[in-house]
């Protein structure tokens, strides 16, 4: 005897089972794009032979336990290593879980991992060869979205270990004009360099990175306690001009007075500039008057 009720139950069960299997097999994709540049930090990557590999550290947090696939797409021969948190950048192999540089096809990595919910991991993107820069995208597929924290965290080196800490950016926009005073900057033989002195107020001791972006070939000088344009080498603690822009990595102490002097590589040069400071806390930039008197 034909039992239509049982048949309908079976049919509904097959349909229901289809949706369950479809849900189980579903994957969520998360994309992350960034780049390595000459401003990136360097280290000796796992299995490397020099300290000149640029790297970018990404904090990875998952919300569901399961299998995740990390694949790269880049303009260069990329190297990816997956680590337990925290990471000692002076000895990254100590915390490494796995690494890859070829399983994703030519120049790309592919890393498959079983990750635990609400655990923090670190993916370090680097290069197969040293001194290489370029853009990259990380594609993550898994049972849930993945939190990939960039620009908010970076790797800081200490004497004992290196951990990932919050990174805060402070900006200062300025302009060198013919109204600014001039001086003879260090390592120059001309008195005709316009300059702008900026007092830096630090509320938390730590390591800070100062980077410039300007319309001219810029020079940065860092002073402690005071700056005297007639004695520009006095109290000078750091300076840089790297291929038309500067980058200064410096440890600053709370309640110390620091002055950043912005000037040009050539003389009688004017133009706009942007200073970006990255570190554990916001910084206060206070320009010191160097305008010519009437």
Among residues 105, 139, 165, the one where a domain terminates is: 165
Is there a single domain that holds both residue 133 and residue 189?
Answer: no
> Is there a domain that residue 127 lies in?
yes
Is there a single domain that holds both residue 247 and residue 265?
Answer: yes
Among residues 109, 135, 165, the one where a domain terminates is: 165
> Is there a domain that residue 20 lies in?
no
Q: What is the pLDDT of residue 6?
A: 43
Span 23-71, pLDDT tens digits: 445 579 998 888 887 777 788 999 999 988 989 888 898 889 999 999 9
Span 2-26, pLDDT tens digits: 554 444 434 444 444 444 444 445 5
Is there a single domain that holds both residue 49 and residue 140?
Answer: yes
> Is there a domain that residue 3 lies in?
no
DSSP the chain: ---HHHHHHHHHHHHHHHHHHHHHH--EEEEEEEEE-TTS-EE--TT-SSS-EE-EEEEEEESS-EEEEEEEEESS-EEEEEEESS--TTSGGGGEEEEESSTTSTT--EEEEEE-TT-EEEEEEEESSTT--EEEEEEEEESS-EEEE-SSEEEEE-SS-EEEEE-EEEEEEEEE-TTB-EE--TT-S-S-EEEEEEEEE-SS-EEEEEEEEESS-EEEEEEES---TTSTTTTEEEEE-BTTB-EEEEEE-TT--EEEEEEESSSS--EEEEEEEEESS--EEEEEP-BPP-
Is there a single domain that holds both residue 95 and residue 177?
Answer: no
Is there a single domain that holds both residue 123 and residue 173?
Answer: no
> Is there a domain that residue 214 lies in?
yes
pLDDT mean over 85-97? 86
Span 124-173, pLDDT tens digits: 999 999 999 888 999 999 998 888 876 434 444 444 444 445 567 788 99
Is there a single domain that holds both residue 255 and residue 230?
Answer: yes
Domain CATH for 265: 2.60.120.380
Q: What is the pLDDT of residue 294?
A: 54
Q: What is the pLDDT of residue 167?
A: 64
> Is there a domain that residue 9 lies in?
no
Q: Per the confidence metrics, is the pTM higher than 0.85?
A: no
Number of domain units in the chain: 2
Span 208-253, pLDDT tens digits: 889 888 889 999 999 999 999 999 999 999 999 877 889 898 889 9
Is there a single domain that holds both residue 152 and residue 181?
Answer: no
Query: In which domain, by residue range, is 63 found?
Result: 27-165
């Amino acid at each position: 005897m034909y039992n239509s009720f049982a048949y309908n139950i079976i049919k509904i069960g097959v349909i229901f089972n289809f949706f369950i299997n479809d849900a189980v097999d579903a994957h969520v994709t998360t994309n992350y794009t960034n780049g390595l540049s000459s401003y990136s930090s360097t280290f000796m990557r796992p299995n490397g032979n020099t300290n000149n590999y640029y790297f970018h550290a990404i904090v990875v947090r998952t919300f569901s336990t399961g299998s995740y696939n990390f694949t790269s797409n880049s303009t260069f021969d990329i190297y990816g290593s997956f680590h337990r948190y925290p990471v000692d950048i002076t000895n990254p192999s100590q915390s490494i879980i796995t690494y890859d540089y070829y399983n994703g096809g030519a120049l790309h990595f592919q890393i498959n991992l079983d990750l635990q919910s609400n655990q923090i991991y670190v993916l370090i993107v680097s290069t197969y060869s040293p001194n290489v820069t370029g853009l990259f995208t990380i594609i993550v597929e898994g049972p849930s979205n993945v939190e990939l924290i960039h620009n908010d965290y970076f790797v800081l080196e200490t004497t004992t270990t290196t951990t990932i800490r919050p990174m805060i950016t402070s900006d200062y926009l300025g302009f060198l004009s013919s109204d600014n005073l001039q001086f003879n900057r260090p390592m120059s033989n001309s008195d005709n360099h316009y300059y702008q002195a900026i007092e830096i107020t630090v509320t938390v001791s730590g390591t800070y990175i100062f980077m410039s972006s300007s319309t001219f070939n810029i020079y940065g000088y860092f002073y402690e306690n005071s700056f005297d344009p007639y004695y520009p080498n006095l109290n000078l603690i750091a300076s840089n001009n790297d291929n038309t822009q500067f980058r200064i990595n410096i440890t600053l102490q709370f309640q110390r007075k620091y002055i950043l002097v912005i000037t040009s590589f050539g003389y009688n040069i004017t133009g706009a500039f942007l200073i970006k400071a990255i570190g554990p806390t916001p910084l206060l930039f206070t320009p010191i008057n160097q305008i010519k008197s009437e």
